[in-house]
Structure 1
């Protein structure tokens, strides 16, 4: 038997309609798991579920906003009614917004507080909300794993993205805190960890890092210069870490942030 198998496990992926979310769904279903594809885009969620089923896998589309408790509860009930269990949660919803970005030359004492708060809320509360709802179902199932998404911005000062950076730093703290509290109450039955991706091209950062012709912007070149692998990551390169954290092979791992960053966090730049 494959020690990294997710066979018979039902795992919900928030942000399942995004670029990284798609890679996570592919990883879960390729490992034999059932994916709950949760997002706001109904058409994309259903298409991705259909694609999984066509390949012989199992998936269910879940339409919900991670900031809306009522929608999350309805999504949880839909999964539970369909499978009678929830074994895992991947909190992949998040990202940046224009209001949370400090533009070059902007007055640092005229930050958009509303914009910063909106980005921080999406990334932090957009992780806590699903954990409260789907985590309770995992506890009812009896055993499971929760994986959050951190960032290089959590412990590095990355210019312009203050709201996002503060939220991801809080995600790291939350991951450690909640993992500890889970262990106190559930022993080794329910675990929480996080993956901290390096720089991957998504729809939200594409214009910041690349030109329309595919070449790098000044910011994109700075990222590449700081990344020893001298390239951006491919979403597929997150799959191994995710499946490991969701599988029984990581059963003694909790409260850990796994960096998948091409060496970015290890390199001083010199």
Structure 2
């Protein structure tokens, strides 16, 4: 097998949760360009249809399903639909996640006055929203004895980012879950089943643009702190996650499992000096 062919996902069936999100948009594009057959999960039918159309315009086969990753029965129904349509599953990308406004602690807020129930919701969304699909779709991959599962971690799992308590706790859980699942699946199902995570840096998207930029286009204080802590001296673009995603989904990373790969312009490596 040539090195280029190792990066191909030709005819692989890849399920992506959160495919309607900002990062999910780049993930769908990259997976489609790599030749895979996609199943895109989300909660908004209109956005799902947009992502499916994007994949098909690239030339990939794609279907979309409405599913709630926090609902076990909903995810099981989606698994049944994927298997009925494609007959198998070769990869899973757990792209559901994000923060909840009520779970963010303001600079002027007493940290002990935070909305604990919103913090719990943020933990559940980011952690359980990854664990549930992994246990359901991952079972097919494990029993097949081959496939790749990708979780989404964060800088918050390695560096204590202020204000985002629930998100931080959840992403620590993602890293632990990634390592645990990678070990158990390999020991029980062999060396063709892999679980890894991607830890994105700070990416400027339409979703967070108002948080990172002022009305005049300049960066907010928080955004500037991220830039100052990044050797690349800039924020990332979602497209810059695509290469790492395809690498971890493909045979090019056949001996890589249990790892969290940072895509952050060097932020996590730099001490500031």
Q: Please state which band the TM-score falls in when normalised by the shorter chain.
A: over 0.9
CA contact (8 A) 2:33 2:58 kept: no
* Alignment partner, residue 30 of structure 1: 33
The alpha-carbon deviation at position 132 of structure 1 amounts to: 0.8
Q: Secondary structure at the match of 2:123?
A: helix
Report whether the alignment pairs 1:85 with 2:88: yes
* Alignment partner, residue 204 of structure 2: 201
CA contact (8 A) 1:95 1:204 kept: no
CA contact (8 A) 2:29 2:54 kept: no
The alpha-carbon deviation at position 45 of structure 1 amounts to: 0.6
> What is the total number of aligned residue pairs between the two structures?
270
The alpha-carbon deviation at position 204 of structure 1 amounts to: 4.5
* Candidates 196, 219, 222, aligned match of 1:219: 222
CA contact (8 A) 2:147 2:194 kept: yes
* Alignment partner, residue 260 of structure 1: 263
* Alignment partner, residue 5 of structure 1: 8
Structure 1 unaligned spans of 5+: none
Q: Secondary structure at the match of 2:112?
A: coil
Q: TM-score, normalized by length of structure 2?
A: 0.96
Q: Secondary structure at the match of 2:111?
A: coil
* Candidates 51, 55, 70, aligned match of 1:52: 55
Mapped to 2, the partners of 1:137 and 1:201 lie a distance apart of 35
The alpha-carbon deviation at position 69 of structure 1 amounts to: 1.2
* Alignment partner, residue 144 of structure 1: 147
* Candidates 163, 171, 176, aligned match of 2:174: 171
4+ residue segments displaced more than 4 Å: none
Structure 2 unaligned spans of 5+: none
* Candidates 180, 183, 187, aligned match of 2:190: 187
Mapped to 2, the partners of 1:223 and 1:208 lie a distance apart of 12
CA contact (8 A) 2:69 2:132 kept: yes
Cα deviation, 1:80-119, whole Å, max 9, x if unaligned, reads 1111000000011000011110011101221211011000
What is the 5 A alignment of 1:94-173? 94-173=97-176
Q: Secondary structure at the match of 2:133?
A: helix
Mapped to 1, the partners of 2:26 and 2:237 lie a distance apart of 9
Q: TM-score, normalized by length of structure 1?
A: 0.97
Q: Aligned Cα RMSD in Å? A: 1.2
Q: Secondary structure at the match of 1:266?
A: coil
The alpha-carbon deviation at position 207 of structure 1 amounts to: 2.5
Mapped to 2, the partners of 1:183 and 1:204 lie a distance apart of 37
Cα deviation, 1:220-268, whole Å, max 9, x if unaligned, reads 1111110111111111111111101111111111000000000100111
